[in-house]
C-alpha cells in the first residue's frame, strides 16, 4: 500500500505497511480501486451530460463514495467492495443509456475495466491502480493531481452533508465528475492543473455555502450557548462525527426514555442550534478530539454513535458499545442502516449503567457562527477603531496526535489580551476550555463551529474587509491553520482561490506537495509552515 493523504502519514512521506489511521493494506487497495472506478463512472457521466442524461442517483453516489475514502471513515473491506460493485453497476447502466442516445464512450480505462469476481481479485486490481502505480511522470503534475483528488474528497464530504438536508447544486456534482475524470488525462499542462486545483477551491466555497444554508435553514442560526463539560446522572448516549441530522434523529428517538445525549468531538457546536438545543435531554459535551477517543470512549458509561469521519479502531473494552451509521464502517461494529433506526443504540444505552452522579467540570461557549458575530460587528469595529482590539487570529482546523500540535495551545496562551481569537474545527480542543476573558463584553475566544463551518469564518472576514474598505489581506487578521485530512485540503484551496495570503500551516506541510508546487505557493501566496509560538507572534505583531 501507499497512502499520504493525511497529515500524520508515516515518516512524513507515506504509509507503506499499514495506515497510521489503522487502515490495512487490503482496505487501502479497495479504496484505491473505488476511486479508480469512480473516475470511470465520472467519464461516462460527463458524456451523459452532453446528451442530456444526468441521473441524480449517479451524482449523489459519486459524492458519497468519494467521501467514504476520506481519512477515518470506512475501514470495512466488505463495505468498500459493495461501493465498488455499485459504482460498476451504475456505470454500466449509464453507458447503455449514453450509447442509446448516440454518445461515444472511452474504449479503455476505468470506464471499461471488468471487475474481479472475488474480494481478493478486487484487492489485486486495487494494487494496480494505487497512487504510485499510476504516478504521472511529471512530479509536479502528479502532485497537483493528488491535491485535486484530496480536495475533491473534501468537497464530496461537504456536498454529502448538504444533500442529506436537501441542499444541492449541480455545479458541485459536475465538478466532482470533471475533476475525477481529469486525473486520467495526460494532455493538460502544469498551468492548467493549477487552474483546476484553484477551481476546486471555488467549488468548495459554493459547497460550504450550500451546507451553511442546509444547517441554518433546518436548525436555525447558532446562538451563543454555554455547554456543560460535566455529566448528568442517568443513562447516556454519545454522538461523534459531524452529522446534524443523525443527532436530531437520535434526540427524537430518545425522547422520554430517560437517556441524556452528549456530543463528542466536532459535534460540540451543535449545542448552539435552536432546533437541537430545544430538546431537554440534550445535555452536554464529553471528551475532546478524535485522536483521544480510545481512552475517552473506554470510560464513557453509555452507547456511542459515530456519524461521519473520525473513527479510530474500537478497543475491545468498548467495542460492543459503539455503533456506526452513514458512510462510517468498521469490521465487527454494528451499523445503523439507511432506515436510521437507532433502536439498537438505545437498547445498549439502557443496558449500561450510565453516569452514577452529576458532575461539574465547568462549561464552554459555542454558537459564534457568522450570524452571531456579525450581529455585533458594530461593537467589534468600534473596538478596533478605539485601539481596544489590535489583531484577529483564526486558530483552527484539525487536531491530531503529533506533539508539535502543542504549538496551537501555546500560541493561544501567548496571544496578547488586546486580540480576538476565532476558532473552528476540532483543532480548538487544544485550548477550547481556557478562560481568556473578553474585550468590552466580546469574548476573546469565539468558537465559529465545526470544520464544516469554515464558510462562517470566510464571511466574517469578507464583512470586516467591507466595513474597513480594504481587502481581506489588508485586515489585521492572521490565519494559523492546523490540517489533518482532506476537508482541510479543500478549505485551504478555497482560501487560495480567494487570494488570501500569509497563511501559516502546520504542524507539517502535506507530503503530496512537491517542492516546485510548494515554491509556487510560497511565491504567490506567501504560505509558510508554523515555527514557534514566540517567533510567529513576533513576526505577526512586531
pLDDT at 245: 98
**Residue 368 belongs to some domain of the structure:** no
* CATH number of the domain where residue 343 is located: 3.40.50.2030
pLDDT of residue 186: 95
H helices present in 51-138, as ranges: 56-67, 77-100, 119-127
Q: Say yes or no: 456 and 475 in one domain.
A: yes
Detail the DSSP E strand segments found in 109-163.
none
d(C-alpha 342, C-alpha 335), whole Å: 10
H/E element, 36:
helix 25-50
User: pLDDT per residue over 36-85, tens digit each?
Assistant: 999 999 999 999 999 999 999 999 999 999 999 999 999 999 999 999 99
Q: Are residues 385 and 422 in the same domain?
A: yes
Supply 10's cell numbers.
Answer: 508515516
Instruction: Say whether both 234 and 202 belong to one domain.
Output: no
The predicted structure's pLDDT at residue 376: 94
Count of domains for the chain: 3
Question: Which DSSP state fits 3?
Answer: B
* R_g of the chain computed on alpha carbons: 23
- 337 and 383 part of one domain: no
Listed in sequence order, the residues at least 6 apart from 228 whose beta carbon sits closer than 8 Å to its beta carbon are: 283, 284, 285, 360, 361, 362, 363
pLDDT digits (tens, 9 = 90+) for 309-339: 999 999 999 999 999 999 999 999 999 999 9
One domain, residues 346 and 394: no
Question: What integer is the mean pLDDT of 145-167?
Answer: 98
- Phi, psi for residue 23 in degrees, rounded to 5: -70, 130
Q: Which residues contact 127 (CB under 8 A, 6 or more apart)?
A: 29, 32, 133
Q: Are 65 and 96 contained in the same domain?
A: yes
Question: Which domain CATH number covers 139?
Answer: 1.20.1270.20
Is 357 inside any structural domain? Answer: no
Other Cβ atoms within 10 Å of 257 Cβ, number: 12
Average pLDDT over residues 248-254: 98
pTM for the model = 0.97
For residues 467 and 530, membership in a common domain is answered with yes
Residue range 516-526: mean pLDDT, rounded:
97
End-of-domain residue from the set 192, 218, 244: 218
In a domain, 4, yes or no: no
Q: Is residue 208 located within the same domain as residue 252? A: no
Q: Cell match 502543542: residue?
A: 406
Q: What does the pLDDT look like over 24-40, one tens digit per residue?
A: 999 999 999 999 999 99
Alpha-carbon distance values, 116 to 105, 234, 358 (Å): 22, 51, 56
Segment 387-437, tens digit of pLDDT: 999 999 999 999 999 999 999 999 999 999 999 999 999 999 999 999 999
Look at residue 134 and tell me whether its pLDDT is greater than 90: no
**CA pair distance 509, 504, nearest whole angstrom:** 10
Quick one: 333 and 391 in the same domain?
Answer: no
Average pLDDT over the chain, rounded to an integer: 97
> 322-325 and 334-336: which strand pairing?
parallel
Side-chain half-sphere exposure of 123, counting CA atoms within 13 A: 12
Whether residue 171 sits in one domain with residue 56: yes
Answer yes or no: is 370 within a domain: no
* Whether the Cβ atoms of residue 157 and residue 241 lie closer than 8 Å to each other: no
Where does a domain end: 197, 218, 239? 218
Residue 141 lies in a domain: yes
In a domain, 364, yes or no: no
Domain span at 381: 375-541
Report the Cα–Cα distance between both ends of the chain, in Å, rounded. Answer: 46
Domain boundary among 178, 198, 218: 218
Q: How much is the pLDDT for 504?
A: 98
Same domain assignment for residues 143 and 170: yes
Residues 121 and 37 in one domain: yes
- Domain contains 389: yes
457 assigned to some structural domain: yes
Q: Are 322 and 300 within 8 A, CB to CB?
A: no
Amino acid at each position: 500500500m501507499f497512502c499520504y493523504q493525511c497529515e500524520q502519514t508515516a515518516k512524513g512521506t507515506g504509509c507503506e505497511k499499514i495506515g497510521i489511521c489503522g487502515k490495512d493494506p487490503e482496505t487501502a487497495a479497495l479504496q484505491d480501486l473505488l476511486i479508480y472506478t469512480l473516475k470511470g463512472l465520472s467519464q461516462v457521466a460527463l458524456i451523459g451530460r452532453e446528451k442530456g442524461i444526468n441521473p441524480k442517483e449517479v451524482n449523489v453516489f459519486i459524492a458519497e463514495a468519494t467521501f467514504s475514502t476520506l481519512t477515518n471513515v470506512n475501514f470495512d473491506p466488505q463495505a468498500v467492495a459493495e461501493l465498488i460493485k455499485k459504482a460498476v453497476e451504475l456505470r454500466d447502466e449509464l453507458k447503455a443509456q449514453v450509447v442509446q442516445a448516440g454518445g461515444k464512450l472511452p474504449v479503455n480505462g476505468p470506464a471499461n475495466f471488468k471487475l474481479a469476481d472475488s474480494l481478493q481479485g478486487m484487492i489485486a486490481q486495487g494494487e494496480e491502480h494505487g497512487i504510485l502505480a499510476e504516478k504521472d511522470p511529471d512530479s509536479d503534475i502528479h502532485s497537483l493531481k493528488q491535491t485535486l483528488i484530496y480536495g475533491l474528497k473534501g468537497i464530496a464530504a461537504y456536498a454529502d452533508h448538504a444533500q442529506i438536508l436537501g441542499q444541492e447544486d449541480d455545479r458541485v456534482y459536475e465538478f466532482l465528475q470533471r475533476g475525477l475524470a481529469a486525473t486520467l488525462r495526460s494532455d493538460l499542462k502544469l498551468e492548467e492543473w493549477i487552474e483546476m486545483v484553484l477551481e476546486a477551491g471555488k467549488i468548495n466555497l459554493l459547497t460550504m455555502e450550500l451546507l451553511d444554508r442546509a444547517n441554518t435553514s433546518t436548525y436555525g442560526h447558532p446562538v451563543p450557548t454555554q455547554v456543560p463539560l460535566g455529566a448528568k446522572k442517568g443513562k447516556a448516549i454519545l454522538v461523534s462525527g459531524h452529522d446534524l441530522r443523525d443527532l436530531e434523529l437520535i434526540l427524537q428517538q430518545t425522547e422520554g426514555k430517560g437517556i441524556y445525549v452528549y456530543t463528542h468531538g466536532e459535534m460540540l457546536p451543535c449545542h448552539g442550534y435552536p432546533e437541537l438545543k430545544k430538546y431537554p435531554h440534550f445535555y452536554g459535551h464529553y471528551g475532546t478530539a478524535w485522536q483521544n477517543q480510545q481512552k475517552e470512549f473506554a470510560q464513557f458509561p453509555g452507547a456511542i454513535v459515530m456519524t461521519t469521519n473520525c473513527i479510530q479502531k474500537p478497543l475491545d473494552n468498548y467495542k460492543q458499545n459503539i455503533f456506526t451509521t452513514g458512510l462510517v464502517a468498521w469490521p465487527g461494529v454494528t451499523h445503523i442502516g439507511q432506515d436510521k433506526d437507532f433502536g439498537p443504540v438505545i437498547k445498549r444505552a439502557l443496558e449500561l449503567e450510565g453516569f452514577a452522579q452529576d458532575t461539574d467540570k465547568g462549561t464552554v461557549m459555542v454558537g459564534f457562527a457568522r450570524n452571531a458575530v456579525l450581529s455585533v460587528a458594530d461593537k467589534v469595529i468600534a473596538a478596533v477603531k478605539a485601539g481596544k482590539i489590535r489583531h484577529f487570529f483564526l486558530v483552527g482546523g484539525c487536531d491530531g496526535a503529533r506533539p508539535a500540535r502543542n504549538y496551537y495551545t501555546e500560541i493561544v496562551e501567548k496571544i496578547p489580551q488586546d486580540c480576538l481569537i476565532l476558532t473552528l474545527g476540532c483543532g480548538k480542543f487544544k485550548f477550547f476550555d481556557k478562560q481568556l476573558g473578553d474585550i468590552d463584553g466580546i469574548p476573546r475566544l469565539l468558537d465559529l463551529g465545526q470544520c464544516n463551518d469554515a464558510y462562517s469564518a470566510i464571511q466574517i472576514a469578507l464583512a470586516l474587509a467591507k466595513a474597513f474598505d480594504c481587502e481581506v489581506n489588508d485586515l489585521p487578521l492572521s490565519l494559523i491553520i492546523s490540517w489533518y485530512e482532506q476537508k482541510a485540503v479543500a478549505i485551504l484551496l478555497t482560501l487560495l482561490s480567494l487570494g488570501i495570503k500569509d497563511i501559516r500551516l502546520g504542524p507539517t506541510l502535506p507530503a503530496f506537495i512537491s517542492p516546485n508546487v510548494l515554491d509556487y505557493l510560497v511565491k504567490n501566496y506567501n504560505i509558510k509552515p508554523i515555527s514557534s509560538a514566540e517567533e510567529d507572534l513576533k513576526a505577526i505583531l512586531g
